[in-house]
Amino acid sequence: DQEMKQVQRGLFIVFEGLDRSGKSTQSQRVAKYFQEELQRKVQNISFPNRDTKGGKILNDYLQNREQKLNDRAVHVLFSFNRWEMQPEIIEILKNGTNLICDRYAFSGVAYSAAKGLDFEWCKNSDRGLIQPDLTFFIDVKPETIQQRGNFGDERYERFEFQSKVSKVYDSFKQDYRDSKHWITIEGENKTREQVTEEILNKITAYENDVMPLLDFDK
């Protein structure tokens, strides 16, 4: 029925990148722009969500208080943490609120594969999750993040390890170079403001191109 009004669902935007690459900074700046300049509904979330049951274990693990977990168990916990949040994510998007999410399934694969776990195996536990409309990969070198404040506080914040994670992200970059859902943002030698401007331009271009109506069954 043409008379029926469909709710335009919210955009699901994800930020990916190495530790300290500027994801939180950009998530917040983009959300602020949506809210204040565009008067659009927006919400921020991040993974891992350290407040859920699974998230508490992950927090202890990342802060080196939990030592016994093996790599596969950790991988599945990160994935579980995303599954826990699916109903809430769907609800937010259905209500027409735009959702800006700091890390998602790409992180799950990148960090676990960097430990040596099989790449395809790593993808399995996230299959079927709601897919983001846009994933922004903020591309910054391990050398750069190492110079940033507080690098080294958590488990994975070591130069060698971040270099391995960077290689996995590079393979995503290759695999998705022609996808309109993945956008690599060159993050070297740019101010926070310059990075935000590029991201906002990409979002506008995406929305002018395709903004699908609510459809979670695909």
Distance, in Å, from the CA atom of 60 to the CA atom of 62, rounded to the nearest integer, reads 6
Report the residue number, 9 or 18, with the smaller CB distance to ligand T5A: 18
Report the residue number, 50 or 123, with the smaller CB distance to Na ion: 50
Minimal distance in Å, beta carbon 156 to Na ion? 8
Q: Of 8, 181, 19, which is closest to residue 96 (Cα–Cα)?
A: 8
**From Na ion, ligand T5A, none, which one binds at residue 9 (CB under 5 to 8 Å depending on kind)?**
none
Residues in contact with Na ion, counted by CB under 5 A, come to a total of 2
Contact set with ligand T5A (CB under 6 A):
17, 19-25, 47-48, 62, 78, 102-103, 107-108, 111, 148-149, 154, 156, 190-192, 195
Report the residue number, 10 or 22, with the smaller CB distance to ligand T5A: 22
What amino acid is encoded at 86 in this protein? Q
Minimal distance in Å, beta carbon 196 to ligand T5A? 9
Minimal distance in Å, beta carbon 39 to ligand T5A? 25
Residue 161 in the binding site for Na ion (CB under 5 A): no
Distance, in Å, from the CA atom of 80 to the CA atom of 186, rounded to the nearest integer, reads 31
Report the residue number, 34 or 137, with the smaller CB distance to Na ion: 137
In degrees, rounded to 5, the angle at the alpha carbon of residue 59 between the alpha carbons of residues 165 and 192 is 55
| DSSP letters for 28-67 | HHHHHIIIIIS---EEEEESS-TTSHHHHHHHHHHTTS--
Residue 144 forms beta bridges with which residues?
none
CB 88 within 8 A of CB 94: no
φ, ψ of residue 56 in degrees (nearest 5): -65, -40
Which 129-158 positions form the footprint of Na ion (CB under 5 A)?
154
Among 10, 15, 18, 19, binds Na ion (CB under 5 A): 19
Distance, in Å, from the CA atom of 178 to the CA atom of 47, rounded to the nearest integer, reads 26
Minimal distance in Å, beta carbon 46 to Na ion? 11
Stretch of 13-21, 38-46, 110-118, 160-168 contacting Na ion, by CB under 5 A = 13-21
| Ranges of H-type helices in the chain | 23-32, 53-62, 71-84, 86-94, 105-114, 119-124, 142-146, 159-175, 192-209
Minimal distance in Å, beta carbon 62 to Na ion? 8
Minimal distance in Å, beta carbon 28 to ligand T5A? 8
Report the residue number, 60 or 154, with the smaller CB distance to ligand T5A: 154
**Which residues form the interface with Na ion (CB under 5 A)?**
19, 154
